[in-house]
Amino acid sequence: MPTTAKTRRMNGGHAVVDCVRNEGVRHVFNVPGESFTSILDGMRDAPQIQLISNRHEGGACLMAEAYAKATRTPGVCVVTRGPGATHTSIGIHCARHDSTPLVLLVGQVERAVRGREAGQEMEKVMMDMKTTLPKDSIHTVDAGNFALWVHKYQEFSVPDTFFGPTVRCMGYGVPAAIGAKLAHPNRVTIAHCGDGGFLMTGQEMATAAQYGVKVITVVYNNGALATIRMHQEAQYPNRPSGTDFVNPDFAALGTAYRALGMQVTRDNEFLPALQEALKANRPALIEVMTELEFLSPTATLSQVTAGQPGR
């Protein structure tokens, strides 16, 4: 249809935002995903709607369900495909049995690739691990851009030393490390987590403490869902939406879980923290404060925003 004074072109995500705004929706609950960046971008131009970014899709869906009960209007939840949609199942189950009006919007891959399974500088930190840890150390990796540093700088020459989810689901790191450590109790086990992924399943550190499973969790804290922010900057430069976090004190949180909690703010602080974690007789959490600017080993946030190729 040609664009006229009475019609205007818009992408699908912006059209979704227009629809929910026209229906009087005032709050939308979500965990940002790259499959619906256009919805996130559209939310920037819908001041009538407050976008609530949750830490876990299960929590987002349950919030939307309870919001619907409290307001007697449909609750709206937006998540990404695959793991994101799967996590909402308990909220959908509750809504079904309580007859709660709930709308779940699921971002999907582009039609052309369906069915193809598409889906601070940290160099000193990684090199400290590489030179300090035994060759048979186990590394579990959560989903996120931070994992690219692990892939680039760590070597996995011994079988059964690397575990990561093919489906790129967040929340894998800590539970996987505990499971792997139980299977190999005499091997050093490191869980690599972004701040977003840790907030999904980090509570399992309580399980590690309860059963004496001495895993070391490294939380790379840049205060954002960096992977989704990268997609936003590539598609909608300088228009971030829903991807910034106000985080807890992860080192203090580790201590609350009866682990050894430490925070690293400078490169030269990491090795002493790692050595202390290795000597500890309990689980340990090392919070590494990082800069969002350093998205990956090959590109900065500024380069992505400017459409420049990485190195």
Q: How far is CA 96 from CA 99, 102, 180, 212, 290, in A?
A: 5, 9, 36, 40, 42
Model confidence band, residue 258 (pLDDT cutoffs 50, 70, 90)? very high
Model confidence band, residue 71 (pLDDT cutoffs 50, 70, 90)? very high
Q: How far is CA 197 from CA 106, 171, 207, 227, in A?
A: 20, 5, 17, 12
Residue 81 has pLDDT above 60, yes or no: yes
Per-residue model confidence (pLDDT) at position 109: 67
Residue 70 has pLDDT above 70, yes or no: yes
Model confidence band, residue 289 (pLDDT cutoffs 50, 70, 90)? very high
Give the global pTM. 0.83
pLDDT, tens only, 87-132: 999 999 999 999 999 999 999 866 654 554 433 557 889 999 999 9
CA nearest to 74, candidates 20, 133, 18, 15: 20
pLDDT, tens only, 235-250: 999 998 988 889 999 9
Ordered structural domains, the chain, with CATH: 12-113 (3.40.50.970), 123-305 (3.40.50.970)
Per-residue model confidence (pLDDT) at position 128: 93
- Tally Cβ neighbours within 10 Å of residue 172: 24
DSSP state of 131: H
